[in-house]
Structure 1
């Protein structure tokens, strides 16, 4: 996950650098619109994955709370697999929360910066930084969505493999 996020940061910085001075048509309204889209998508992913964690993995969530001793080795393996999968889902929730936090902060800060225009800053630099920031958050959210798709595909393969093995075991 760290490598993907570092790659997102590197790519978004490169895009911001390459667009420096060439953003006359990039407006504050366009930036706020993109932040709104990112906020909505992140909130949806955050809510869906959070509900998914609570509904699909109650055993993994309750095992540490209940404190029951698990005697069955297969149940321990299954619980460990669930816990590993949960940690991957939690990383997705963290990425979406990160995007939500910064999108909200940007939408709150921008009107303040606009209202107090006495800041003596170079607009091409501000626009390039805004593009870098926007692209970075978009990359982070796209990464979270791609990880969800990847995990779902892995889960599907695991279920199919279990079903196939069960059919083979019962046919023999």
Structure 2
């Protein structure tokens, strides 16, 4: 339910900003944002995938061999893996959206229906770019939070180990 509320707020904010700003935006500016967004999404996608593959190899083992799923069931790592998978899905969604946006622009930019409704489509296009940007920012923040939690866990484990060593 929380995710639905967040996405609804993102849509509302995106369309509101687009409504008031789209008229002054040129396609060159859109291309720059899309290029940056593509690079960031690819990097986040890769980073989260590496996290899963190298830090949680049992998750990969569970995926390739369903009988081993008990390795991660009920563990505290399950939530972190779930967050990382959602980050990967978000970045994949952003990348697919960018691809479809560019493809649509190429194929439809001279279509009569597009020319007739140019202003509305421009608002929707800018809104879409803002929406996927907000989602990618959310994914970046989730990676940052995940890293902080991981470092905190390392410090906690180190402190516990030092306390046990002193006994």
Q: TM-score range by the shorter chain?
A: 0.7 to 0.9
Matches within 5 A, 1:55-134: 55-63=54-62, 65=65, 67=67, 80-117=75-112, 119-134=114-129
CA distance in structure 2 between the partners assigned to 1:115 and 1:69 by the alignment? 52
For the 8 Å contact 2:94–2:136, the answer to whether it is kept is yes
Q: CA RMSD in A?
A: 2.5
Quote how far apart the aligned CAs of 1:61 are: 2.5
The normalised TM-score by structure 1 is 0.82
Higher percent of residues as helix? 2
Equivalent residues of 2:52, 2:59 under 8 A apart: no
- Following superposition, the deviation at residue 137 of structure 1 comes to 0.9
CA deviation digits over 1:87-116, x for unaligned, max 9?
Answer: 110000010011011000001110222233
Deviations 1:106-165 (A, max 9, x none): 011102222335645333322221221111111011100000001110111111111111
Q: How many residues align?
A: 164
**Inter-partner Cα distance in structure 2 for 1:67 and 1:128:** 49
- RCO (CA 8 Å, sep 6+): is it higher in 1 or 2? 1
Rg comparison, structure with higher value = 1
Larger mean CA deviation between 92-101 and 59-68 belongs to 59-68
